[in-house]
Amino acid sequence: MSFLVETIPKYLDNKAVKVLAGGADIGERLLQLKWDKIFFTGSPRVGRLVMAAAAKHLTPVTLELGGKSPAIVDTLSTTPSKAKVTAKRIVGGKWGPCTGQACIAIDYVLVEEKLASTLIELLKKTIKRFYGENIKSLKNISRIVNKHQFQRLVNLLKDPNVADSIVYGGSVDEEKLVIEPTILLDPPLDSEIMSEEIFGPLLPIITLKNVEESIDFINSKSNPLVIYAFTEDETFKKRILSETSSGTVTFNDSMVQFLCDSLPFGGVGQSGFGRYHGKYSFDTFSHEKSILHRGFYPELEPRYPPWTDFKLLFIKLAYQFDYFGLILLLLGFKRS
């Protein structure tokens, strides 16, 4: 684990960044120091610890915490070519980024019941074409980062009700720390796999009577970092934008919003706060200092006591930017 730390430099030619490598002990020691700014990316659990430590010194923080980012699928009943593109972009957005070990990876999919089987078949075909057909011949896919995370993911599948929901994959190779791309259909909503960020190659598919129910489903959970919505329904798009809260919304693709430096990246609520990328990173690590220069004249006496009706009316009109009223007051045509 690496920690990126440094106070904001006084001059642009100063060394701006130091990298210290270490585990939780190093992180804890660093958080005891006073910094001008703390930027943290990781889990909400550790994010709370970082924020609590920063509060001791009133240090501003930016937290990028991830979360359960859903993909809403509403394009399968359109043309077959668009349905195939949807499947490719879901597979790429789930297993492409380090086999799901990325904060912006798709965490689960929401789709109508009548379209679930079509989606699953498309995903299976795409997975086989991208990565291979079994645990022994997988290619182009990452290992799980360490044994602890590998075991955490395996434990998610050990719940009997969760295991029963597997419709594709599920094989593991403990020696190589590899887990096969796995699709689950309607695992229990109260199971750990549906309450915690998965951060791995397991993809739950949750079925709904109507795709618009996805809005209430998303709102019943913590704010996601990203909502991916595959739809061409402009009215539905507007509802997603106006009725849900997330760090980012991406329509008809996955992951690409992270590559666009002209878009701010960051979470909201449980998925974090603050933003970065491109100029937004510069702004995040900058303090905008307000500076006002004034001369000694003219000097407006109504700003000082003793208070009179004239002064109070002058101040009231000035705050209202009522310049015409001020002129009338100064000419004696306007009284309180």
The one-letter amino acid code at 270 reads Q
Predicted pLDDT at 113: 96
Percent with pLDDT over 90 in the chain: 74
What is the residue-averaged pLDDT of the chain? 90
| 193 alpha-carbon distance from chain centroid | 19
Q: Are 256 and 277 in contact (CB under 8 A)?
A: no
pTM (two decimals): 0.85
The pLDDT value recorded for residue 6 is 43
As a whole number of angstroms, the distance between CA 141 and CA 180 comes to 9
**For residue 305, is the peptide bond before it cis, meaning its omega torsion is within 30 degrees of 0?**
no
Mean pLDDT of 237-264: 94
Three-state SS across the chain?
CEEEECCCCCCCCCCCCEEEECCHHHHHHHHCCCCCCEEEECCHHHHHHHHHHHHCCCCCEEEECCCCCEEEECCCCCCHHHHHHHHHHHHHHHHCCHHHCCCCCCCEEEEEHHHHHHHHHHHHHHHHHHHCCCHHHCCCCCCCCCHHHHHHHHHHHHCHHHHCCEEECCCEECCCCEECCEEEECCCCCCHHHCCCCCCCEEEEEEECCHHHHHHHHHCCCCCCEEEEECCCHHHHHHHHHHCCCCEEEECCCCHHHHCCCCCECCCHHHEECCECCHHHHHHCCCCCCCCCCCCCCCCHHHCCCCCHHHHHHHHHHHCCCHHHHHHHHCCCCCC
Range(s) for CATH 3.40.309.10 in the chain? 70-259
Q: What is the mean pLDDT of residues 324-334?
A: 89
- 82, amino acid identity: K
pLDDT at 77: 76
* Class (C level, CATH) for 70-259: alpha beta
If phi > 0 it is left, if psi is from -120 to 50 it is alpha, else beta; for residue 5 that is beta
Provide mean pLDDT across the span 267-271. 90
What's the token pair of residue 34?
A: 């006073």
- Binned at pLDDT 50, 70 and 90, residue 336 comes out as low
The residues annotated with a catalytic role in the active site are: 64
Sign of the Cα torsion 114, 118, 123, 124 reads: positive
Q: Per-residue pLDDT for 62 more than 80?
A: yes
Reported as a single tens digit per residue, the pLDDT across 29-58 is 889 999 999 999 888 888 999 999 999 999
pLDDT of residue 22: 74
Q: Distance (Å, rounded) from C-alpha 18 to C-alpha 40?
A: 15
What's the burial of 87, exposed, middle or buried (CB within 10 Å: 0-12/13-18/19+)?
Answer: buried
Mean pLDDT computed over 179-193:
97
pLDDT of residue 334: 73
- CB of 178 closer than 8 Å to CB of 143: yes
Given pLDDT bands bounded at 50, 70 and 90, which one contains residue 121? very high
pLDDT tens readout for residues 216-225: 999 999 999 9
Q: What average pLDDT score do residues 293-318 get? A: 93
